[in-house]
Amino acid sequence: MDCSMAILLLCVLSFWTTGQARRCGDRQEEIDGHCCDMCPPGTFLEKYCSEVDQTVCSPCKEGYYSDKYNIFTICEECQQCPQGYSEKCTSTTSGTCSCQSGFLCSNNNCSKCEKNNCQIWENPKRTGVSSDFGLTTYLYKCEPKCRGHEYFDVKEDICKPRTQCSAGGLAERISGNETHNSVCYSPETQRGFTYVTLCIGFVLLSLSLSVFVLYTCSKKLRKHKANKPVQVVPAKTSDFHLSKEESGVQLTIQDEYKDSSGPLHLDIR
Ligand SMILES: *[C@@H]1O[C@H](CO)[C@@H](O)[C@H](O)[C@H]1NC(C)=O
């Protein structure tokens, strides 16, 4: 027997009982002239009462529930959830569904979930769309979380006002958007910074230039000295080499002829 049949039965029963004077209690039904106890929530009717026996009720099976005093012969099936329950199904409650993070309920009982396509700085705004049998289908629209002059700080999860660069006499390096604050700079500081950079660059350049000039000059000087021709007259035993470089005078005494009072060779350049 399904739900609609049970409802039909209840209707027939209530129709039948209203015709007679009500003698039974609040949580009783008159059946065949007897006042039968109704079944409490969490149970269903197993057997009507009789002259001798009370009503027999049975607890709902797992996944089924009844939330009222009833004389239904079955329990109702719990809500089916595609992604999980926010409240679990019990013998007396149907439970409620919820969608996982990043998803949104597609209708009022959340029997369907859909992906949340909004950006981190946006909120999904629900626009209810009514449809059949008490089931309301939801449509969503993404709306910014923050107001126009604000940005959404993702780390702190709050809206913060955007810095107005011009208000502080500053210029805007990066204009802010939905998730970032504006980045300002002071044009004067910027100019000063440029000057300092240029100065340092100039000093470095001239330093390296002078080092280069000094190096090449000294190298040339040394080479020049080395190339200065020195005429050495071959000597047999030993040479006395006296040089006077400053004056460019070279004096060579040739030993060989010293003893024999030979000629003294004087080489002047
Ligand atoms: C906002 O600006 C930052 C850089 O300043 C950028 O990385 C980011 O993608 C921008 N966001 C939007 C939504 O335009």
Tokens of 88: 């679990």
* pLDDT-based confidence at residue 257 (cuts at 50, 70, 90): very low
CA of 176 to the centre of ligand 1 (A): 8
**pLDDT for residue 18 is more than 80:** no
9 burial type by CB count under 10 A (0-12 exposed, 13-18 middle, 19+ buried): middle
Ligand 1, pocket-test mutation among 145, 150, 180, 183, most atoms within 8 A of CB: 180
Q: Domain 24-96 classified CATH 2.30.110.10?
A: no
Of the candidate ranges 12-21, 162-171, 223-232, 244-253, the one whose mean pLDDT is the lowest? 244-253
**pLDDT for residue 220 is more than 80:** yes
**pLDDT for residue 3 is more than 60:** no
CA of 180 to the centre of ligand 1 (A): 6
Separation CA 152–CA 101 (nearest Å): 20
* pLDDT-based confidence at residue 100 (cuts at 50, 70, 90): very high
- Atom 6 in ligand 1: residue holding the nearest Cα: 180
Separation CA 172–CA 185 (nearest Å): 6
Tell me the per-residue pLDDT of 128-176, one tens digit each, with 9 for 90 and over: 888 878 889 999 999 999 999 999 999 999 999 999 999 989 999 999 9
CA of 174 to the centre of ligand 1 (A): 10
**Residue owning tokens 């004096």:** 251
Ligand 1, pocket-test mutation among 122, 177, 182, 183, most atoms within 8 A of CB: 177
CA of 158 to the centre of ligand 1 (A): 17
End-to-end CA distance of the chain: 137
Higher per-residue confidence, 209 vs 3: 209
CA of 185 to the centre of ligand 1 (A): 19
Tokens of 169: 């006499």
- Contact yes or no for 172/164 (Cβ under 8 A): no
Q: Which atom of ligand 1 is nearest to the CA of 121?
A: 13
| Residues in contact with ligand 1 (CB, 6 Å cut-off) | 174, 177-180
∠ at Cα 232 (230, 235), nearest 5°? Answer: 165
Separation CA 169–CA 186 (nearest Å): 8
Predicted pLDDT at 262: 45
Side chain identity at 228, as an amino acid letter? Answer: K
Which pTM does this prediction carry? 0.54
Of the candidate ranges 38-47, 123-132, 189-198, the one whose mean pLDDT is the lowest? 189-198
Read off the pLDDT of each residue in 180-197 and give the average, rounded to a whole number: 87
Predicted pLDDT at 92: 97
Higher per-residue confidence, 53 vs 255: 53
Domain(s) of CATH 2.10.50.10: residues in the chain: 24-96
Q: What is the SS3 assignment for the chain? A: CCHHHHHHHHHHHHHHHHCCCCCCCCCEEEECCEEEECECCCEEEEECCCCCCCCEEEECCCCEECCCCECCCCCEECCCCCCCEEECCCCCCCCEECCCCCEEECECCCCCEEECCCCCCEEEEEEEEECCCCCEEEEEEEEECCCCCEEEECCCCEEEECCCHHHHCCEEEECCCCCCCCEEECHHHHHHHHHHHHHHHHHHHHHHHHHHHHHHHHHHHHHHHHHCCCCCCCCCCCEEEEEECCCCEEEEEECHHHHCCCCCCEEEC
